[in-house]
């Protein structure tokens, strides 16, 4: 487990449900996603399902959960390797600037090394400058752009 003075990063447990839900709701609100308790419950269910790809870490200090990191492994055909994708990283407003996000990322890089994974990767909003200030210190910004295409019916 990665830790800084009194900050512990550990796997999420069922006992963390109410704290995780509150943080995940705040994460969704931060990114202006609509309130949707079905989504929150679905993701919680994924993380609690031992065969689902989604997992989660929480950062805790003095018994209080201050941040979360939802992640999964992903195949990288171009390199023939597997990486770790950090889907969601969020800290409480009060904990920002206190090393919580850095500790979660640090723990994921430790997991990647222990599993012989090739990379830990994530994206962030273009206007999330506070997070980018940290990311510039702990990772390398890539030149890749992200695109989203909506599912559509097959064209005949």
Q: Which CATH superfamily is domain 2-138 in?
A: Gcn5-related N-acetyltransferase (GNAT) (3.40.630.30)
Helix ranges restricted to H, 13-128: 17-30, 37-48, 100-114
pLDDT in tens, the chain (156 residues): 555 558 999 999 999 999 999 999 999 999 999 999 999 999 999 999 999 999 999 999 999 999 999 999 999 999 999 999 999 999 999 999 999 999 999 999 999 999 999 999 999 999 989 999 999 999 999 999 889 899 987 766
Nearest-angstrom CA–CA distance, 111 and 109: 5
Tokens of 41: 């419950």
Can you give the C-alpha Rg of the chain in angstroms? Answer: 16
- Residue 127 is classified by DSSP as T
The CA distance from 98 to 4, in Å, is 10
DSSP category for residue 11 = E
Strands (DSSP E) contained in the chain are 2-4, 7-11, 55-61, 64-76, 81-91, 120-121
Q: What is the pTM of this model?
A: 0.91
Check: CB of residue 76 under 8 Å from CB of residue 57. Answer: no
pLDDT at 153: 74
């Amino acid at each position: 487990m990665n830790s800084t003075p009194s900050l512990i990063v550990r796997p999420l447990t069922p006992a963390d449900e109410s704290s995780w839900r509150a943080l995940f709701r705040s994460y969704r609100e931060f990114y202006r996603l609509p309130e949707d308790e079905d989504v929150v419950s679905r993701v919680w269910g994924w993380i609690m399902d031992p065969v689902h790809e989604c997992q989660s870490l929480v950062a805790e200090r003095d018994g209080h959960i201050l941040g979360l990191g939802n992640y999964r492994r992903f195949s990288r055909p171009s390199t023939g390797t597997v990486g770790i994708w950090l889907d969601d990283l969020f800290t409480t407003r009060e904990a920002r600037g206190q090393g919580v996000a850095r500790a979660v990322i640090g723990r994921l890089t430790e997991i990647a090394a222990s599993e012989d994974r090739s990379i830990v990767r994530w994206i962030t909003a273009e206007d999330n400058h506070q997070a980018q200030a940290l990311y510039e210190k702990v990772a390398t910004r890539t030149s890749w752009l992200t695109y989203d295409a909506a599912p559509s019916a097959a064209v005949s």
